[in-house]
Amino acid sequence: MLLGSSRAGWMPLGWPFPHKNVGFFSGVLSPPGVSTSAPGSSQGKGSVSLLGSRRLFFDTHALVCLLEENGFTTQQSEVIVSALVKIMNTNLDMIYKDMVTKVQQEIALQQVMSHIGAVKKDMIILEKSEFSALRSENEKIKLELQQIKKQVMDEITKVRADNKLNLNLEKSRVKELYSLNERKLLEMRTEIVELHAQQDRALTQTDRKIDTEVADLKTMLESHKLDNIKYLAGSVFTCLTVALGFYRLWI
């Protein structure tokens, strides 16, 4: 089936009908109530009432006749053909929504070119007027930035000098504190040595005292041992004498 339109710039779409008796001719869709048929055919049989005013590149009357030959009635075949035409019209409308004609394309191109020319003119005017002002402002900003950089560098040098002085002062303070701590440590060491010496002396004296007391205790123990031995010997002799006396008396 070949589909076509009277709009400028559109190419007809081709879909050949498979039946041999169907011819191809340009038929115009009539308004509601008007029948469309092939030239030379009767208006009674095979007439189809169609909507729209778009041109079709196939013989609707031949299609109606083909449907009648295949067992459809005249009314059924006309309804089928009208439904096919409506479907084709809706499909073409959907396609036309996303497409433009050559004339519209040329008009759009002319409009775009005119807009581009206007933009170019505006750019030239901006280059002459606003760009010069921007350049002067940029130069002023550059000078201000250079001055700010100088001020910042001066501040940085001052801060570095102050930091160096503070570091030197802190180093001197730390050195003084370190020397004082070393002196205190030496004094503490001397005191500790003296305390150790005093403790050693006290320990030696206590050791001597302990030795003398131990020797005295040993002599006292020896004397007590002798006294105990003497006492035991006397008591033993007295017991023996008493026993001998009783033995003699007993005999």
Query: What local confidence, expressed as pLDDT, does residue 229 receive?
Result: 87
Kindly report, residue by residue over 137-179, the tens digit of the pLDDT: 888 999 999 999 999 999 999 999 999 999 999 999 999 999 9
Task: Give the separation between CA 26 and CA 12, rounded to whole angstroms.
Answer: 11
- Residues of the chain predicted below pLDDT 50: 1-53
Query: What local confidence, expressed as pLDDT, does residue 122 receive?
Result: 82
Q: CB-side exposure of 242: number of CA atoms within 13 Å?
A: 6
Query: What local confidence, expressed as pLDDT, does residue 174 receive?
Result: 92
The ranges assigned to domains in the chain are 2-97
Query: What local confidence, expressed as pLDDT, does residue 57 receive?
Result: 66
Task: Give the separation between CA 1 and CA 56, rounded to whole angstroms.
Answer: 9
Give start and end residues of each alpha helix (H) in 34-129: 60-69, 74-97, 102-128
Query: What local confidence, expressed as pLDDT, does residue 96 receive?
Result: 78
Query: What local confidence, expressed as pLDDT, does residue 153 receive?
Result: 94
Query: What local confidence, expressed as pLDDT, does residue 187 receive?
Result: 92
